[in-house]
Amino acid sequence: MGNLRKLLCIGFIVTAAICPGIAAAVPQNGIGAYVGLISASEGGSESKGLSLGMDAQFVSNDYWSFNPYLMASDERDSASRTLADGRAGIQVRRWFYDWFVGGQFFVHDRLIFGSGNVQSSTYGPAVGAVAGFEFAGGWGAEVQSDSFEPTSPGIRRNAVRLQMTYRWY
Is 4 in contact with 39 (CB distance < 8 Å)?
A: yes
What does pTM read for this prediction?
0.82
Per-residue confidence band for 124, with pLDDT thresholds at 50, 70 and 90: confident
The whole domain housing 158 covers: 2-168
Helix (H/G/I), strand (E/B), else coil: 10: helix
Mean pLDDT to the nearest integer, 47-69: 97
pLDDT at residue number 84: 94
pLDDT in tens, 8-29: 556 655 555 555 444 456 799 9
Strands 117-134 and 82-96: unpaired
Counting the structural domains of the chain, the total is 1
Closest CA to 71 of 89, 87, 50, 47: 87
Query: Does the pLDDT value for residue 4 go beyond 80?
Result: no
Provide the CATH number for the domain around residue 104. 2.40.160.20
Q: How far apart are CA 34 and CA 31, in angstroms?
A: 10
Average pLDDT, the chain: 86
Query: Does the pLDDT value for residue 45 go beyond 80?
Result: yes
Mean pLDDT to the nearest integer, 86-94: 97
